[in-house]
A and B are shown apart, each in its own frame.
Chain A
């Protein structure tokens, strides 16, 4: 359908971007590596009262309180895997730090900016706002996550 090149090696003089790819409910997503702080195994989160269903709670990240977001719930996908084998990707943007709970981490991709294309308009699907771009790597379609849209803004009252 599209003419997107399938090579993942960018030409030397093109703008490259590094992305961390991962699986959520069997789907491939990726996020700008510059916003990834660390990756760690899942831990039992302390639930927060009256929190939105996609917020699992908070965990202790070396003495700091880290909110954990169930990404599949946030993206409104059917949860498929057993949560005890989840992975948490700690990301930060707009000076908010959050742990995204995903199924597994796949790879680090180095792509040229031109290989990222904007997602098509699909009015029926609200979830589109969470995806900022699409790309194809080895015949798989990978969705680039729009972190700013996923994370709650600083002043959001939890109730």
Chain B
């Protein structure tokens, strides 16, 4: 049962998603009748399952919601903006109730009550006939419980002799009800005698409708059960038959007998034929209302086409995440092992064109394919994340009184599951900030000719081997003078710093920075962007800002496509092997003597196609050695900086390019500046994977060895 319960909550998540999709379609004006049905069924199914598990709060709310949706479904209600907004709130509350029920928490009644009341009001205003049990009355129908409700007090002797007259009408047989079964059920209540009356059965030649009911019965039941129990037996056929039930206390030894004239109960003991003539016209029944000859639906011919045409939902399998992780690790190991094997084979002197080497190459290809497939198992569309953000926007919109709309794009972009989970918080902060601080209030927007409704857009896409997620708003943009001012006052920069626009924007990423003058009631002092950036970097990603005053701000998050594999360039630096992500490398060059120019007392620049780029010595930056004496003839890699402009990074030698398996450093060691992760090389040694942008942003840029303690500065001008 516990398994079914767990499975139910998983199903609820799917239903909630379908609900949100449907409501979104309705908001976009893309809804049809089926959409409304989908929305209705989602809530209906949640209610059904919840009832089975006794989740009363959830059931009660879902019931109201369902009733209101029923109004919509039957056309008695039209979904205008107000109504839709209410339905969206309803879906949010429903989601909360589902999750709280799952986790055993109490949902805040104060939040639930107003929405519930509003839904109730919605249903009440339309002309719906009283939707049955207003009070949730979900007792399963138990049969033959013997509720003695309306039966007059019986005398001490409990048994009553019931006379039952039962005449089926056409609908009874049409609905596959069977009198025999009814009689059997009656027999369970006591001693039963049955008499069948075939008076009304026409002769064969006048039998025009063999399906019409012509038989009826009288039954005598001696039972201690009350009338209600007897009626209950006929519950399914109520209205499909003529039924009369009369009770008299069972004859033996009952003092009140005189009160009940035995004649009331027509006891038939004589041959039935003539004596029986109750108010029954044995007229042949009217032609059966249910047409057996009208199978409007031709299921057989239609079905095959329909089944194929209807987009067969993708078959899915639910798998324990742990199993997938284990699989991912094992596949990673295979890749490493393959590399080691390759190396050993090469070291053993086996020639490149031998079958062994060729076989290993194929093996490598297969391994890569498996790895890619396995990684894609963990990939999920970002849709769930976007839907969560949509809800955040709704809540903030309500809390700040700003009219906001969230536009999403690329919600089917697939991303590793872990990434989705760990992006939730940073994205939430960014969106909160966008609405709270990015978007101006109505008056200002009006004054600048912007639409009343603010727009926050959320886009996801794959771009050059990475996942890119953009959060943008059409608000006022970053107030740079204010930011500068604040930074100076907080002592983060000196008053005379000359910063570019991008540099000013990036001040927002400094810890503790916030330009919120007033404490907003939802984001406190405006959650620091430094926290956001740290979270994204922990995922191996980075975030950048672009902003135009008066027009809006855009944050771009760039993440590795999969958490486990990287195409890298393997280089040698100060005797150590380092891997640099291929996507970060713009160009590789060998330095000519004339390309290296002195810049400051300890730095150099490189001249490349008439541009001057900063020169960085990777070995020195990593602290593995001091800067070189001479950089002529060194190999440099051009890597992009935070703002996109290139820097030239010196490495000692380039080994090759290969795909490496990423091993996190974070869990085992922590953050290492300039380093993204680690990998295991073919020889089993660990090599560090560089985070070029982080490294460059922290670089000291020293490319001149420090002078020996007492001697004057040597002349190392090389250009």
In the complex they form, whether A and B have CB atoms below 8 Å apart is answered with: yes
- Which residues of A are interface residues toward B (Cβ below 8 A)? 44-51, 57-60, 63-67, 96-97, 152, 154-159
With A158-B670, A159-B672 known to touch, is A58 a contact of B665 (CB < 8 Å)?
A: yes
Contact between chains at A47 and B576 (CB < 8 Å):
yes
Q: How far is B674's CA from A58's CA once the two chains are assembled, in angstroms?
A: 16
- Count A-B contacts at CB 8 Å: 75
Residues of B within 8 A of A96 (CB): 668
Contact between chains at A50 and B668 (CB < 8 Å):
no
Contact between chains at B670 and A154 (CB < 8 Å):
yes
Which of B329, B336, B621, B686 is A58 in contact with, Cβ under 8 Å? B686
Residues of A within 8 A of B329 (CB): 63
Q: How does the 8 Å CB contact mask read for B677-689 relative to A, with 1 for contact and 0 for none?
A: 0101000111110
Residues of B within 8 A of A156 (CB): 670
Q: Is B624 an interface residue (CB 8 A)?
A: yes
Residues of A within 8 A of B672 (CB): 48-51, 158-159
Contact between chains at A158 and B624 (CB < 8 Å):
no
Which of A45, A49, A66 is B623 in contact with, Cβ under 8 Å? A49
Please give me the residue from chain B that is nearest to A51 by CB atom: B672
Which of A46, A66, A97 is B687 in contact with, Cβ under 8 Å? A46
Contact between chains at A48 and B671 (CB < 8 Å):
no
Q: How far is B621's CA from A50's CA once the two chains are assembled, in angstroms?
A: 9
- Chain B residue total in the interface (Cβ 8 A): 28
Shortest A157–chain B CB gap in Å is: 5
- 15 A-B pairs in the complex with CB atoms less than 8 angstroms apart: A46-B686, A48-B672, A49-B622, A49-B673, A50-B623, A58-B678, A58-B686, A60-B680, A60-B685, A63-B329, A63-B333, A65-B678, A66-B668, A97-B668, A152-B670
Residues of B within 8 A of A152 (CB): 670
Residues of B within 8 A of A157 (CB): 670-671, 673
Q: Is B526 an interface residue (CB 8 A)?
A: no
Please give me the residue from chain B that is nearest to A157 by CB atom: B671
Residues of A within 8 A of B116 (CB): none
Contact between chains at A58 and B669 (CB < 8 Å):
yes
Residues of B within 8 A of A44 (CB): 685
Q: Which of B329, B622, B672, B675 is the most central at the interface, judged by chain A CB atoms within 10 Å of its CB?
A: B672
Q: Is B332 an interface residue (CB 8 A)?
A: yes
Residues of A within 8 A of B332 (CB): 63
Please give me the residue from chain B that is nearest to A158 by CB atom: B672
With A60-B686, A64-B663 known to touch, is A46 a contact of B576 (CB < 8 Å)?
A: yes
Q: Is B581 an interface residue (CB 8 A)?
A: no
Q: How does the 8 Å CB contact mask read for B655-674 relative to A, with 1 for contact and 0 for none?
A: 00000000111001111111
Please give me the residue from chain B that is nearest to A66 by CB atom: B668
Which of A48, A60, A155 is B675 in contact with, Cβ under 8 Å? A48
With A65-B664, A97-B668 known to touch, is A158 a contact of B678 (CB < 8 Å)?
A: no
Binding site of A, secondary structure by majority: helix, strand, loop or mixed?
A: loop
Contact between chains at A46 and B685 (CB < 8 Å):
yes
20 other contacts beyond A63-B332, A65-B663, A65-B665, with CB at 8 A cut-off? A44-B685, A46-B576, A46-B688, A48-B672, A49-B624, A49-B673, A49-B688, A50-B622, A50-B672, A58-B669, A63-B329, A63-B333, A63-B336, A65-B686, A67-B669, A155-B670, A157-B670, A157-B671, A158-B670, A159-B673
Residues of B within 8 A of A49 (CB): 621-624, 672-675, 688
Which of B663, B669, B685 is A48 in contact with, Cβ under 8 Å? B669
Contacting A at CB under 8 A, from B603-640, are 621-624
Q: How far is B576's CA from A155's CA once the two chains are assembled, in angstroms?
A: 26
Q: How far is B673's CA from A37's CA once the two chains are assembled, in angstroms?
A: 29
Contacting A at CB under 8 A, from B682-708, are 684-688
Q: How far is B684's CA from A60's CA once the two chains are assembled, in angstroms?
A: 7
Q: How far is B688's CA from A63's CA once the two chains are assembled, in angstroms?
A: 14
Please give me the residue from chain B that is nearest to A159 by CB atom: B673
Residues of A within 8 A of B671 (CB): 157-159
Please give me the residue from chain A that is nearest to B329 by CB atom: A63
Q: How far is B664's CA from A63's CA once the two chains are assembled, in angstroms?
A: 11
Residues of A within 8 A of B674 (CB): 49
Q: How far is B333's CA from A44's CA once the two chains are assembled, in angstroms?
A: 20
Q: Which of A51, A58, A152 is the most central at the interface, judged by chain B CB atoms within 10 Å of its CB?
A: A58
Residues of A within 8 A of B333 (CB): 63
Shortest A136–chain B CB gap in Å is: 36
Residues of B within 8 A of A154 (CB): 670
Q: Which of B668, B669, B673 is the most central at the interface, judged by chain A CB atoms within 10 Å of its CB?
A: B669
Residues of A within 8 A of B664 (CB): 65
Q: How far is B332's CA from A155's CA once the two chains are assembled, in angstroms?
A: 27
With A58-B665, A59-B686, A65-B665 known to touch, is A46 a contact of B670 (CB < 8 Å)?
A: no
Shortest B662–chain A CB gap in Å is: 10
Residues of A within 8 A of B669 (CB): 48, 58, 65, 67, 158
Q: How far is B688's CA from A154's CA once the two chains are assembled, in angstroms?
A: 20
Q: Which of A48, A49, A96 is the most central at the interface, judged by chain B CB atoms within 10 Å of its CB?
A: A49
Please give me the residue from chain B that is nearest to A49 by CB atom: B622
Q: How far is B85's CA from A27's CA once the two chains are assembled, in angstroms?
A: 73
Which of B623, B668, B675 is A64 in contact with, Cβ under 8 Å? B668
Residues of A within 8 A of B665 (CB): 58, 65
Shortest B170–chain A CB gap in Å is: 74
Q: How far is B687's CA from A62's CA once the two chains are assembled, in angstroms?
A: 15
Residues of A within 8 A of B577 (CB): 46
Q: How far is B681's CA from A44's CA once the two chains are assembled, in angstroms?
A: 13
Residues of B within 8 A of A57 (CB): 686
Q: How far is B238's CA from A52's CA once the two chains are assembled, in angstroms?
A: 86
Please give me the residue from chain B that is nearest to A95 by CB atom: B667
Contact between chains at A158 and B673 (CB < 8 Å):
yes
Residues of A within 8 A of B675 (CB): 48-49
